[in-house]
Amino acid sequence: MLKRTPILALIFAALMSALIIFIFQVDARPFTKGQIAMLYFFSFFPSMGIAMLFDPFPKKVKERYLKINFYIQEEDPADQVAKVIAEEEKEKGN
């Protein structure tokens, strides 16, 4: 994961929180500071996902898991993942 990804997420979360307040806040019931802090906290999670779209690591993980069929009865999921990672390392070495 790139170092910039969580930083980008923090920025996106601030923008998302501001947008939500702009759209949903009712004048009679303004958000308190604590509620805004919680809104920022909850905005962070989807923002992290958006930031991860610009990071190559999650794409690599998706490609890795797409190679695995987790519904083979005899196989252990942890072993299957380890096997694919070992193959990736081997390819990198070549």
Partner 1 sequence: MQLGHVAVALTIASFAPELSGGQIEALSLESILVAIFAHEFPNFDGFLIMSGLAPKKFHCTWSHSLIVGFLAGLITWFINPAWGYIFWLSIFLHYLADMPSSVGIPIFLPFSKKRYTFNLWADTGYFGWVSFKGTYQQSWTWILEGGAFLVLYVRLYVIGFWPFS
Whole-angstrom distance, CA of residue 44 vs CA of residue 14: 8
| Residues near partner 1, by CB under 8 A | 16, 20, 24, 29, 31, 34-35, 38-39, 42-50, 52-53, 55, 57-59, 61-66, 70-73, 77-78, 81
| Rounded least distance, CB 6 to partner 1, Å | 11
Of 80 and 94, CB closest to partner 1: 80
Alpha-carbon distances of 87 from 51, 64, 81, rounded to whole Å:
28, 10, 10
Of 15 and 38, CB closest to partner 1: 38
Cβ-contact 47, 81 below 8 angstroms: no
Neighbours of 9 (CB within 10 A): 21
Of 15 and 72, CB closest to partner 1: 72
